[in-house]
A and B are shown apart, each in its own frame.
Chain A
Amino acid sequence: MANYIIRRLLMLVPMLLGVSAAVFLVLHLIPGDPARMAAGPDASEADIEQIRVNHGLDKPFIVQYGIYLKKVLQGDLGESFQTMAPVTEGILRTFPATLELAAAGMLIAVLLGVPIGIYSALHPRGAADRLVTSLAVLGISMPGFFLGLVLMLVFASLLNWLPPTGRGSFAHLVLPSVTLGLPYVATFARLTRSSMLDVFSEDFIRTARAKGLSWRKVTYRHALRNASIPLVTMLGLDFGRLLGGAVIVEKVFAWPGMGRYMVDAIMVRDIYVVQGTILVFAASVVLINLIVDVIYGALDPRIAYS
């Protein structure tokens, strides 16, 4: 087990090398001179050249990448062209906010979706079952930013229950995390339902019932545990999607997260910020997948790590 985790963590290295190389290549070969953007419209050629030298942009591409990698290994993701502040600092400041938002959104999706899914699996073809099917289509059809703005209009402007934007108190977290999590509720409910129904038809459920266990115990102890394996897979994949969706939700609610940090940097071609944030996003996705694989083993001892 420990071996497996270490090996997987080591696999992170080539993966992140690949991502960083790809992103570095893409951002450096594109038109649009970042030094010129940073210098502003009135800058002289000498000023622009100075910025280029300061950031090492005058060196050949491969040398630039080498220098960048060396710095990344020391925890230095470069400096912003705009503010001259270290990118690592910016990420440390914004990433917790994004993580908080994504985790809260995920929590909402799971806490609502799984019980609804269990209920509709226990009552197939009932009202809840049909409702979930309709809601799932609505969920995947609703643009996150529009849902967020409508929620903001209703709960912040009209009812005045919650603050419209910003981060701070728990109340600030409600609207953004609901916006992020709500579309996934129906997805989780459907998945819970179908995997519960699959498990219900297994022999060991009949055995458990035959030896006299109550339905309640069978449902929660035997069925739910076995049905949770596809759910955990989905959770891992969807956490990545939630991080992506957070970029948009952060913009709607002026949430000071890493997505906003990244998008603002894209607008002004602040390449080290873009590179750093993408690397951190990629690393989080890979780490989440690792965590999911480890949870599998805990849920199902039949899965062997090799």
Chain B
Amino acid sequence: MAPSTLASPTPDAKQRQGFLGYLIRRRSYTVLAAAVVMVLFVAAALAAPLLYDWETTTRVALDRALMPLSAAYPLGTDELGRDMVARLIWGARITLVVGVVSVAIAMVVGVVIGALCGYYENWLSSAVMRFMDFMIAFPRTLFAIIIVTAFGSGVVSLILAIGISTVPANVRLFRGPVLALKRRQFTTAAKALGAKDSSILFSHILPNTMSLVIIQGTLSLAEAILIGAGLSFLGLGPQPPTPEWGAMIAASRAHITTHPHVILVPGLALFLVILSFNLVGDALRDYIDPRSRKAL
């Protein structure tokens, strides 16, 4: 069940067209819109400290609590009188950091273990794979909750929880292609020329999994943001007054009936960002490997 055959070592002509051109040519306007949302999200996350200082984002001012949408506060204020725009933008920054760092951890660890388990087929690698299969069967949310419990609530433990709980799936995902690439002629050729195992693995096999890393990275980001927000909603993420989107929703829940905007603003932001990463990830997969379209 090798998940998508990888791009051949020789780049084919279509690849040079560029992802953006591919989207325009295929009239994938939904995906283009998703790409715009992604860019806005990253820009907001990067520019957050320039737009609003931390003080404005977290200072309590009960006299202007729960204000509706207005010119002064385009998205209103929350139950403690804080500007929703400021909190949304700072929330984007926290979400991006949590997502990117946790996915980076999951990718590096997953690719390395997956590659080793695919390259060396022995009792140890099959034992590791057995263990990974067991971990995959265990619900991710619960797995992440156990890890958060161990490290205590906060951004760092949230990152570790998401990262570690993604590793088993990544190991299984990357082992397949490595197993297949190992049997390709260019690997045999490298071996015949006297290349060491490490050099075959790192300079011949791993570079060929890069397209899979990009696709999986984008889709993993969507899932990491989803799980991170869920854990924060449960109170296991960054603590108040940190404006994490899931935590914001948890804190404002009581006002959902009277002032729905306090829930809808962070909730829709979360939904749109996750949706965008999923749409762009799917489109990237179609672009890099058109054959996978039929798979499911």
Contact = CB atoms under 8 A, between A and B. Distances in A.
Partners in one complex: yes
A289 interface: yes
Contacts of A150: 263-264, 267
A274 interface: yes
A122 interface: no
Given A26-B150, A244-B139, A278-B146, A143 B260 contact: no
A266 interface: yes
A289 B274 CA distance: 30
Contacts of A141: 222, 226, 271, 274-275, 278
Given A137-B278, A244-B141, A143 B257 contact: no
A143 B263 CA distance: 13
**Chain A binding surface, main DSSP class:** helix
Interface string A88-103: 0000000000000000
Contact of B138 (A137, A146, A157, A240): A240
Contacts of B151: 30
A244 B256 contact: no
Interface stretch (A53-61, A107-115, A205-213, A245-253): A245-253
A23 B249 contact: no
A31 to B, nearest CB: 7
Contacts of B296: 190-191, 194
Contacts of B279: 137
B184 interface: no
Contacts of A153: 256-257, 260, 263
Contact of A266 (B230, B236, B263, B278): B236
Interface string B254-296: 0011001001100100110011001100100000000000001
Contacts of A247: 141-142, 145, 234
Contact of A30 (B139, B152, B270): B152
Contacts of B274: 141-143
Nearest to A190: B296
A31 B149 CA distance: 10
A286 B136 CA distance: 12
Contacts of A244: 139-142
B191 interface: no
Interface in B56-71: none
Nearest to B263: A149
Contacts of A285: 137-139
B134 interface: yes
Interface in A135-171: 137-138, 140-146, 149-150, 152-153, 157
**Chain B binding surface, main DSSP class:** helix
Chain A interface category by residue count = 35 or more
**Residue of A32, A146, A266 with highest tally of chain B CB at under 10 A:** A146
Interface string A260-303: 00110011000000100010011001100100000000000000
Contact of B256 (A31, A137, A157, A286): A157
A88 B3 CA distance: 43
A241 interface: yes
B19 to A, nearest CB: 18
A152 B233 CA distance: 16
B246 interface: yes
A210 B138 CA distance: 45
Contact of A152 (B141, B150, B256): B256
Contacts of A282: 138
**Residue of B139, B145, B223, B249 with highest tally of chain A CB at under 10 A:** B139
A204 B140 CA distance: 39
A145 B249 contact: yes
B263 A289 contact: no
B256 A240 contact: no
B230 A26 contact: no
Given A26-B149, A278-B146, A143 B141 contact: no
A191 B295 CA distance: 11
Nearest to B276: A141
B235 interface: yes
A127 B266 CA distance: 32
Nearest to A239: B139
Interface in A50-102: none
Nearest to B264: A150
A141 to B, nearest CB: 4
A143 B150 contact: no
A27 B141 contact: no
Given A31-B152, A141-B226, A263-B235, A149 B253 contact: yes
22 contacts: A26-B146, A137-B282, A143-B233, A146-B267, A149-B253, A153-B256, A153-B257, A153-B260, A153-B263, A157-B257, A241-B141, A243-B139, A243-B142, A244-B140, A244-B142, A247-B145, A247-B234, A248-B141, A263-B145, A263-B235, A281-B139, A281-B142
Interface of B: 134, 137-142, 145-146, 148-152, 222-223, 226, 229-230, 233-236, 246, 249-250, 253, 256-257, 260, 263-264, 267, 270-271, 274-275, 278-279, 282, 296
Q: Which 5 A-B pairs have the closest CB atoms?
A: A244-B139, A244-B141, A141-B275, A146-B267, A141-B274
Given A237-B137, A266-B148, 5 more contacts: A30-B152, A143-B233, A149-B267, A266-B149, A285-B137
